[in-house]
Amino acid sequence: MFLEADNVTVTFGRRRVLDSLSMRLQGRSTGLLGPNGAGKSTFIKALMGFVPLRQGFIRVLGHDVRREAMRIRSLVGYMPEHESYIEGLSAVRLLRYLGELAGLSPRDAMERAHESLHYVGIGELRYRPVETYSLGNQQRVKLAQAIVHGPKILVLDEPTNALDPEGRNEMLRLVRDIGEYSGSHVIMCSHILRDVEYCCESVTVLNNGKAILSGVIEDLKKEDLRTYEVRVEGDRNRFLQELDRHGCYITENLQGHLRVTLPEGHGTRYLFEIAGKADVQLRHFHFKKDSLEDIFVNALQESEQGPLHAGS
């Protein structure tokens, strides 16, 4: 476990941006997902000690953010979403400066600056001022500055912003390689779910300042042969009542289809028997392995609304 947060609350005025948030992050790479305003950016600032905690604690690699914020910052590399450069500085001078701020000697900082820029694919441009770069190459500089000091944890905020398809694929490959081979733990914030699915082994979903889902992506995507997506013709309310009476768990997806989880020990025949009792026809009926999008949407729906009915 490289990051532990327990009962974390952060307020801006009277607004609770993080609300008793608890999470445990482990493994090589984690995708941090959530709608706008969910608390992702605030959590990143909190783990680096940039915003005070009203209550709770955060430990990063065993270090308490309240007492050891400077130590934590030396262990974390951060790639921000928005522009991050000093006008007039070339990429190599910028990275050398940031490397020295992180504690490297001038010689080591210069060596790491060249290595990092070559790694992200802009070594030939390294002596030009960063403001003259394309947006895509500025994005690469942000990744380079995040890794220049060899951090133990790498936090990436929307790393594929402003990249064309070829550049985006190359950025994702770099992020995945860092997570698999560098020894650094990666936390990747992105609104593009397929990018997270490609780069990360785990995912944590935030909503309304709380962590509502966390786990290994492949485990979360396992087929559940008791869960079916169905569409019915007939008295829908009566069908819902019968499902509830028979101990089923029901939610609804964005297309208006019902997702029905049968009680333990029951299979397809049980669902048809319930439909028969409700005198409805099953017009759409299948089970499938969830995509990350399914997992994300279902988690948000259940956190906002709860199930339509929940059997025991």
> Measured between alpha carbons, how far is residue 304 from residues 18, 42, 89, 162, 212 in Å?
16, 20, 47, 32, 10
Note the pLDDT of residue 60: 97
* Structural contact between residues 97 and 53, judged by C-beta atoms closer than 8 angstroms: no
What does the pLDDT read at residue 161?
85
| pLDDT at residue 246 in the model | 93
Do 58 and 7 meet the contact criterion of CB atoms below 8 Å apart? no
Q: Please give the Cα distance from 138 to 239 (Å, whole number).
A: 55
Spatial contact of 261 and 251, defined as CB atoms under 8 Å apart? no
pLDDT for res 171: 93
Q: Residues, the chain, total?
A: 312
Assigned fold of 3-219: Rossmann fold (3.40.50)
Q: Look at the alpha carbons of 98, 101, 104, 107 in this order and tell me if their dihedral is positive or negative.
A: positive
Neighbours of 115 (CB within 10 A): 15
Q: Please check whether the two domains, 3-219 and 227-310, share a CATH topology.
A: no
Below-70 pLDDT ranges, the chain: 223-225, 254, 288-289, 305-312
pLDDT score recorded for residue 109: 97
Q: Which CATH architecture has domain 227-310?
A: 2-Layer Sandwich (3.30)
pLDDT in tens, 29-79: 999 999 988 999 999 999 999 999 999 999 999 999 999 999 999 999 999
Query: What's the pLDDT at 82?
Result: 85
Residue 311 pLDDT: 45
pLDDT at 54: 95
Domain extent listing, the chain = 3-219, 227-310
Residues β-bridged to residue 232: 282
pLDDT value for 308: 55
Check residue 312 and give its pLDDT.
37
Rounded Cα distance, 47 and 71, in Å:
12
Full-model pTM: 0.79
